[in-house]
Structure 1
């Protein structure tokens, strides 16, 4: 049966600065690089050799994947990048400090924007400094101006169905290196997490989540490879 590992990128510079990052292409911190390497070491210790690594187009995920594969002795693994595995688009919150935003709008409102399933932040205004519609990386793509976790899932799931699931159904092991919310979307789908419970799922940076799947891609077992930094997992069906 296939195995899937989900790896959230290591700490980024804007994680450190407590800013809403979304699609902004920031790099890893030194700590983030160390987390990526440690994640790779844990992958090697688990005897995991994926047939392919899927990642987003953002450098914090791409570099995490490259550092993890290098640490695991798996640098020959094919890599597929796609923007649909990007982090959630934070709309008008992009670039703002989270604590300062909470002071301005109230902690309850910011919690709704950050953690609710289907309520997005305010949309990003066109011409904003972070207007990704002007980025050639997304030329010709349907660029959102904000996203909730629900609309993030709406773009991740078709890519999962078309590109990732067929590899797993063929019996291949797969590594996905992406972001907190794009990975939460995959977890919600796999574990059938209710809308009101997905807010409780938090995937730590740089800690590989190994999921054993049956022939129908239903999880039969799941564990974090670094038990000391594990968070609660959804219940298996």
Structure 2
């Protein structure tokens, strides 16, 4: 698919992110991942429409979707890969924003959550309340940060998320914590513009239906759904993926390799980009991927592979935690601590 050169006057370095459409559909406690033009079923590629579903009692643990983990152990500045253990990776698209509610193109405009979005974030927190989290990454936009913070209010471990400020030496000095015991009860939160939503250019703030009426549904569909064609003076999904995946590889992946459990709260398009990398999707497969707001996706990082486990259904369902001994033990420890 050829890119529109006239619309690529911006670079990835100049912008921050966008929103994605995704396809985790919730139905009676089940989560479905749809890849319309191609996808995976039981770990195998196939043509046509594929629906891979997971429920709390039946996720296909015997046929996980996996992708190789790029190691950095040859770099002496990095710690060795955690090959003997495992780590959890949680991806959450932010809850409904005020501009989602108004059907406006949002992109990099910094818009907060609606009441429904707050409820979605809290529900997401309940779903992951028994999964260990050592570090949180969010975009620089408030809707993603609100989602992360609200989700953590539901975590049974009751650790406090602390936003890290390292923009200058004074910011770092003023935000120091001087109690080692307090530090143990905190989870660092790193904000990064690279995880922002796709920048929608001249469409930002426009009503989606009115834009379709003006430019035609087909043209707007190309701007929203193609991989390498950006909206006027905006980012394509390909451009968004360049910055989001590069950041994931350089900053987040090393944490996972060291055995850190990580949560990422971000946006439809930045998360689609990361999932494209994790699941080795093609440019055609990723444009069919839809992510629902406020629905977490769990991956297990083990033996240098990403194993997708789907979405935890509820804090009372033990099925997802039984996928690995480590998750089961962590949940048991929480039960013992809190009862």
Name the TM-score, length of structure 2 as normaliser: 0.58
Distance 2:306 2:135 in 1: 19
Following superposition, the deviation at residue 158 of structure 1 comes to 1.8
d(CA) in 1 for partners of 2:228, 2:293: 24
Shift in CA distance, 104/220, structure 1 to aligned 2, threshold 3 Å? same
Counterparts of 1:194 and 1:226, CA distance in 2:
28
User: Is residue 133 of structure 2 the alignment partner of residue 40 of structure 1?
Assistant: no
Counterpart in the other structure of 1:4: 89
User: 1:226, 1:108 → 2: CA distance?
Assistant: 36
How far apart in 1 are the matches of 2:231 and 2:286? 17
2:307 corresponds to 1:220: yes
The one of 148, 153, 156 aligned to 1:65: 148
Name whichever structure is richer in strand by fraction.
2
Quote the Cα distance in structure 1 between the aligned partners of 2:270 and 2:288.
15
Consecutive unaligned residues of structure 2, counting only runs of 5 or more, are 1-85, 161-185, 315-339
**Pairwise CA distance, 1:102:** 0.5
Asked if the contact 1:7–1:178 (Cα under 8 Å) also holds between the matched residues in 2, the reply is yes
The structural deviation recorded for 1:215 is: 3.1
Query: Residue 203 of structure 1: CA displacement?
Result: 0.9
Aligned: 1:31 with 2:116 = yes
Query: Partners of 1:65 and 1:12 in 2: how far apart?
Result: 14
Matches of 2:128 and 2:93 in 1, distance apart? 13
Instruction: Give the equivalent residue in structure 2 for 1:78.
Output: 188
1:226 to partner: Cα distance: 3.6
Q: 2:331 matched to which residue of 1?
A: none
Cross-structure match for 1:152: 240
Q: Contact 2:110–2:141 at 8 Å: present in 1 too? A: yes
Q: Distance in 1 between matches of 2:159 and 2:268?
A: 24
Unaligned runs of 5+ in 1: 124-145, 228-237
| Cα displacement string for residues 24-67 of structure 1 (whole angstroms, at most 9, x for unaligned residues) | 000100000000011001111xx212110000110000011010
Q: Quick check: 2:136–2:189 contact (8 Å CA) kept in 1? A: yes
Which moved further from structure 2: 71-80 or 148-157? Answer: 71-80
> What's the offset of the Cα at 1:199?
1.4
Hey, what does 2:136 align to over in structure 1?
Answer: 53
Question: 2:293 corresponds to which residue?
Answer: 205
More helix by proportion, 1 or 2? 1
Superposition map of 1:89-104 within 5 A:
89-104=199-214
Moved more, 218-227 or 105-114: 218-227
Equivalent residue, structure 2, for 1:235: none
- Tell me the equivalent position of 2:266: 178
- Partners in 1 of 2:115 and 2:192 — Cα distance? 25
Q: Point out 4+ residue stretches in structure 1 off by more than 4 angstroms.
A: none
Q: C-alpha displacement at 1:74, in angstroms?
A: 3.6
- Name the Cα RMSD after superposition: 1.2
Q: CA deviation at 1:71?
A: 1.7
Q: For the Cα contact (< 8 Å) 1:208–1:226, is it kept in 2?
A: no
What whole-Å deviation, never above 9, does each CA across 1:84-109 have from its counterpart, x for those lacking one?
10000001111100000001111111
How far apart are the structure 1 equivalents of 2:147 and 2:123? 10
Which structure has the greater CA radius of gyration? Answer: 2
**Separation in 1 of the partners of 2:135 and 2:299?**
16
Please say if residues 49 and 74 of structure 1, whose CA atoms lie closer than 8 Å, have aligned partners that are also in contact. no
Provide TM-score, normalisation by structure 1.
Answer: 0.83
The question of whether the paired residues in 2 share the 8 Å contact of 1:54 and 1:79 is answered with yes
Partners of 2:88 and 2:132 within 8 A in 1: no
Partner residue, 1:192: 280
